[in-house]
Amino acid sequence: MTQRVIEITSPSFLTEPMLAAAEDISSFFHNDHPLCLEIGCGIGDFITQLAARHPERNYLAIDIYNKGCYKTCKKVDQAGLKNVRVMRAEARYLLANFMRKESLEAIYINCPDPWPKKRHRSRRLLSEAFLQMALLYLRPGGELNFATDFQDYAEDVATTIAAMDGYANGQDEPLSTARPDYPVSKYMRRFLEQGLPIYFVHYFKRHDCTITDQDVRLAQGFRLSWEQVENG
C-alpha cells in the first residue's frame, strides 16, 4: 500500500521545479563554496555531522524516500545548518539533468541497498557505468567516498574502481575498515557496536582524467516513478 507523502515545507528542501528554474545549484546557497553530494541521505545523521564540521563546503543531500528527506530537513533545520540543501531525487537523473560537469568537490554514498542476491547484483547503484558517470561530474581531484556494511559489495566496487583509469587511490589499500575522520551514521553505529565492520572505498578523480558525455553509458529507464517507491 502506498504511504502518504509528507509535505515538506523546510527552507532547506529543494524541488525539481526549483532546480529547473535556477541558473545553478549554488544560487540556493548564496555563496561560491565547493559543492558536495550525498546520495542516499537516509534520516540525515551523516550529512548533519559532515556539514557542521565543514562550513566552508556546501552539501546537497538526496534520497528517493519522502520520509527520509523530511527527517533530514528536520535535522538540518534544528542544527541551524545553512550549507545543506535536501532533495528527493534519483542520483543518475539528478546528475544528468541538473548538475554541471566537474562541479562536485566530493560524492558520498553510505550503505546503499546491497542487493545481496546474485541475480539482483545488476541493480546495485555503484556499477562501472555509474562510477564512470561520477567521473564526469567530479572536479579534478574530487573525492568519491563509499561505505557499506556488506563485504561483497565493497569488494566488488573496490575491484571495479581500481581497474578504472580515471581514479587514484585515496587510502593505502583499495578497501579499508577504518576511516577515523569519517562521520558515523546511526545505521553504521549499529553494526560497529556489534563488533561488525564497515568497509570504506575512497578514491580521487585523477587530475589528468579526460572524460566526455560519450564515455558515459547508462541503461535507459533509471528514473524511478515515485508512485512505485515506498514513501517510508
Q: Active-site positions?
A: 113
Distance CA 224, CA 24 (A): 24
- Tally the C-alpha atoms within 13 A of residue 11's C-alpha that lie toward its C-beta: 8
Helix (H, G, I), strand (E, B) or coil at 193: helix
Q: 104, 122, 135, 109: which is closest to 216 by C-alpha?
A: 135
Answer left, alpha or beta for residue 171, where phi above 0 means left and psi between -120 and 50 means alpha. Answer: beta
Q: 190, 202, 107: which is closest to 149 by C-alpha?
A: 190
Rounded to whole angstroms, what are the CA distances from 195 to 44, 175, 188? 23, 18, 11
DSSP track, 18-82: HHHHSS-GGGGTTS---EEEEE--TTSHHHHHHHHH-TTSEEEEEES-HHHHHHHHHHHHHTT-S
Q: 21, 18, 111: which is closest to 60 by C-alpha?
A: 18
Distance CA 215, CA 78 (A): 42
